[in-house]
A = this chain, B = another copy of it.
Amino acid sequence: MDILEKKLKTRLTSQQYQNLKEKCVSESISIEDYLAKLVSQDVTRSPLPENFGDDEKDIKTEIINLFNECKILDGANPSDLEKLVEVAEYVHLPKRKIICHVEDVCRFFYIIANGLMKVYKISPSGREFAIDILSRGETFGGGRIINGSLHFAEAITIEDTEMVLIPKNRFLEFSSLNPQVITNISILENNRFVDMFNKLMSILTDTAYQRVVQTLTALMHKYGDTLHFNHKIIAELSGTTSETVARAMTHLKHCGAIRLNYGSVQIIDPIKLSRDTIKVNKNTKIAGSQR
């Protein structure tokens, strides 16, 4: 197996090789298993998905519908959009399918049609930090394609997900004909920048508990009051650890702000949620925590 690793090493940049190693360590998977997984996923994806042929018309309609729901494509020329449909690929991806790694070449502009995709980054120490969870109508890769850069983050589906892929060069042609699309991207990037800075300040001024509440509130506004996310993802979004999330959540549960089920959180009292974010740690005894 050393031979395989050596062969890989000569074919990858040191950064890419580093990422691969980290990935394996963080997923506690051997390199060979990891490669096997990649290959099997690639083999099942590369050819066009099965449901082409008779359904082709339906899929095209579906893609057009998706385009219309996609904020970034607002104001684009409809005939250009129709041309875009012709080069778009509609793919079904399983849960935990890796979309890209840090430093990967941007090959596609992605639009989520169904399901959820997590965009995140791994620190040298192995901690993961989520940038965003993308759902229907949201896009990925646009900014980096316009920028002419490589991917700066990793992306992975967190449930079975369908998305539309548009090859990079087709997207560049399309966007150069539709300046409004660039403007939309610019607005999106600006908003993300501001959000990120606010999050940064929140990390430096708020407690971890407050950040968890902020994350829950934000997710509630996007996905409704029942959130099917596990502690790890909420931790990655809040910039903390799953243990801290668990502590915050049990506190909120005892306050009556949320209800917990295995793998999901239901927010039953948003006001309590934001109000009862008192600084509580293990030393400050939590009222009602004794059974």
The answer on a CB contact under 8 Å between A201 and B123 is yes
Which of B124, B127, B182, B204 touches A239 (beta carbons < 8 Å)? Answer: B204
> In whole angstroms, how far apart are the Cα atoms of A13 and B123 in the complex?
41
Whether, in the assembled complex, A152 has its beta carbon less than 8 Å from a beta carbon of chain B, the answer is yes
Which residue from chain B places its CB closest to the CB of A192 in the assembled complex? B193
The answer on a CB contact under 8 Å between A204 and B129 is yes
**Interface set, chain A 125-157, CB cutoff 8 A to B:** 125, 127, 129, 131, 143-144, 146-149, 152-153
The answer on a CB contact under 8 Å between B201 and A121 is yes
The answer on a CB contact under 8 Å between B143 and A205 is no
For A88, what are the chain B residues with a Cβ–Cβ distance below 8 Å?
A: none
Which residue from chain B places its CB closest to the CB of A194 in the assembled complex? B152
Q: Please report whether the interface of chain A is mostly helix, strand, loop or mixed according to DSSP.
A: helix
The answer on a CB contact under 8 Å between B205 and A123 is yes
Instruction: Count chain A residues whose beta carbon lies closer than 8 angstroms to a beta carbon of B.
Output: 37
For A131, what are the chain B residues with a Cβ–Cβ distance below 8 Å?
A: 197
Whether, in the assembled complex, A186 has its beta carbon less than 8 Å from a beta carbon of chain B, the answer is yes
Q: A179-B182, A186-B189 are in contact. Are A205 and B124 (CB under 8 A)?
A: yes
Whether, in the assembled complex, A183 has its beta carbon less than 8 Å from a beta carbon of chain B, the answer is yes
Q: CB-defined interface of A265-276 with B at 8 Å, one 1/0 digit per residue?
A: 000000000000
Whether, in the assembled complex, A39 has its beta carbon less than 8 Å from a beta carbon of chain B, the answer is no
Which residue from chain B places its CB closest to the CB of A199 in the assembled complex? B200
Whether, in the assembled complex, A191 has its beta carbon less than 8 Å from a beta carbon of chain B, the answer is yes
> In whole angstroms, how far apart are the Cα atoms of A191 and B143 in the complex?
9
For A61, what are the chain B residues with a Cβ–Cβ distance below 8 Å?
A: none
Query: What are 26 contact pairs spanning A and B, CB under 8 A?
Result: A123-B201, A123-B204, A127-B205, A129-B197, A129-B200, A129-B201, A131-B197, A143-B190, A143-B193, A144-B190, A146-B183, A146-B186, A147-B187, A147-B190, A147-B191, A148-B187, A152-B194, A153-B197, A182-B182, A182-B186, A186-B189, A189-B193, A193-B193, A193-B196, A196-B200, A200-B200
